[in-house]
Structure 1
């Protein structure tokens, strides 16, 4: 690249994810930030391309279910910066501004910090707060890794800021040892492809035309976002031709699923026969039955358990309705209403023969 100077466009001390959040979200609509970069190219882990499009072009904003995790990450940014300095000996400065790429103004950067390198150059610092269960995605000291979502984020920032090195610090505990630091160096070939893909997405935003919804690596992200949309009670008539190939694929996959289901059913039956044999063998010479058995073979010890549990109290929909009708005060005091995910089904009817079948998708 020829080199450029990023443009400072907003002072984040006036608005951020914690304070004056509405203004901060409005600023984010002006372009594609680092945390948007993977989703804008159909490679997001937390958000689909179509959901990101809705956020940029409308007031749609899915409320995150892990809000406490996000809040923790925002509050612990100063701690992460200080811990990085402690672990590396490098000075970190906070950079409370939103930047814009001068040649590609749709590319934005909102940095957690800048690292002062020994040679006088700057590096980007991205702070993450994770839990001990996800640290495996960062690899080991001998074989370091970085989740793609975060790699895409810092590569986006390096492109906007024209900086060649970025660090990601991930905190998963409250001691100096509960820290992972990963270094990322700039890749110009990656940036060229990234810019082309981001530009294509931004064209959709500017033209207010939805991007292809099946470009995402994980279509379940789109399903989660669609659950948040409002649906009215009614029927819309759809044309056949655009859906012809999808209907054929759907039928083929459902048939394949049914075959696999039958295969699994046979496997379950074989397992049940073996299980019944083991359970029936848990008895002594006097026909006393035990809830545990032990088989010792060479250096191996195999333990069989058949634990009988207390009866389970069920509370189905009918019971809930009766309780609500007969004792509304008790129902409101002790019952919690949980939001259910919508259920999609595809039903076919032969208009001549009257035949029908129904596929449900949960």
Structure 2
């Protein structure tokens, strides 16, 4: 299938790259973002980051190096695989090992992330991705190979873990059946996807409306108050440390430390003085004044 058709079909189930987000293990994607993608509320275009772009380009290099070092021949499987019992579980695998019931996942990683691959370590988001592939294919093991910093190559074998696989089946079933099919969003979190979801679901409030909140709201409000206090302490600390660095720079724009570059540069911005425009040219101001409705969230003690 072509790429557009592949992107459309990917919405019909949960793939290996979705599992970490659903399990709360992804650094880049949140559960709500996966939900919005599956119900068709995000653009179909798949815009890759620079890291993902070069990861795709280097996939073949990683696969070839794996074969060179292990002697294991690999092949592409140009299809979206589907679990026989749970059709919403999909797998778009990088490679399969010829003559074995095993597969290969190809990765690239920054030099700054090399500690995640030390010894027997495998980043948890990739570990469950490979277990997801074993769940779909029924295979007994999966290899993962990673090129770190462009000059360090590591490969490791992951054995099938039926306990983890059953956990993933339960997790993905709950997400697909209770949220995607019913179009009931999962519990919101602090991600931009959750903020956008709530903004789109409830863009305008009913004027002067009021409701009794459940008892859980009191717990959340206590946590919110504590979080605000912690945030203030953190912001004050950040400001203090930034000011100490600014004092070191003085009139200099850029400072060089052993592992960082610190800058305090001049920035010029141009903004329209709306008050002056309204005073001097009220007709023009009114002509281009565009009203907008938004909702402001607030909490006060009673």
- Same fold flag (TM > 0.5): yes
Question: Of Structure 1 and Structure 2, which has the larger fraction of its residues in helix?
Answer: 2
Distance 1:213 1:169 in 2: 34
Larger strand proportion of the pair = 1
2:266 alignment partner, one of 302, 305, 313: 313
Q: How many angstroms apart in 1 are the aligned matches of 2:62 and 2:230?
A: 52
Query: What is the deviation of 1:77?
Result: 1.5
Which stretch of structure 1 is more off in the superposition, 74-83 or 204-213? Answer: 204-213
2:173 equivalent in structure 1:
199
Which one of the candidate residues 110, 117, 120 is aligned to 1:131? 110
User: What SS does the corresponding residue of 1:80 show, helix, strand or coil?
Assistant: helix
Could you tell me which of 212, 229, 240 is aligned with 1:241?
Answer: 212
1:72 offset after TM fit, Å? 1.1
Secondary structure at the aligned position of 1:166 is classed as strand
CA contact (8 A) 2:39 2:183 kept: no
Q: Are the aligned partners of 2:32 and 2:193 in contact in 1 as well (CA < 8 Å)?
A: no
Q: Normalising to structure 1: TM-score of the pair? A: 0.62
User: 1:50 offset after TM fit, Å?
Assistant: 1.8
What is the TM-score normalised by the length of structure 2? 0.73
Unaligned runs of 5+ in 1: 1-13, 16-20, 276-304, 327-342, 356-362
5+ residue gaps, structure 2, are 254-264, 278-293
Give the C-alpha shift of residue 128 in structure 1: 1.0
Give the drift of 1:161.
0.6
Pairs within 5 Å for 1:141-220: 143-175=119-151, 178-205=152-179, 207-214=181-188, 219-220=189-190
Change (3 A) 1:148 1:240: farther
Structure 1 runs of 4+ with >6 Å offset: 62-65, 262-266
Aligned to 2:70: 88
Q: 1:239 to 1:46 in 2, by over 3 A?
A: farther
RMSD across aligned C-alpha pairs, in angstroms?
Answer: 3.8
Residue in 2 that maps onto 1:347: 298
Cα deviation, residue 95, structure 1: 1.4
Residue by residue over 1:270-307, the C-alpha shift from the partner in whole angstroms, topping out at 9 and shown as x without a partner, is x9xxx9xxxxxxxxxxxxxxxxxxxxxxxxxxxxx955
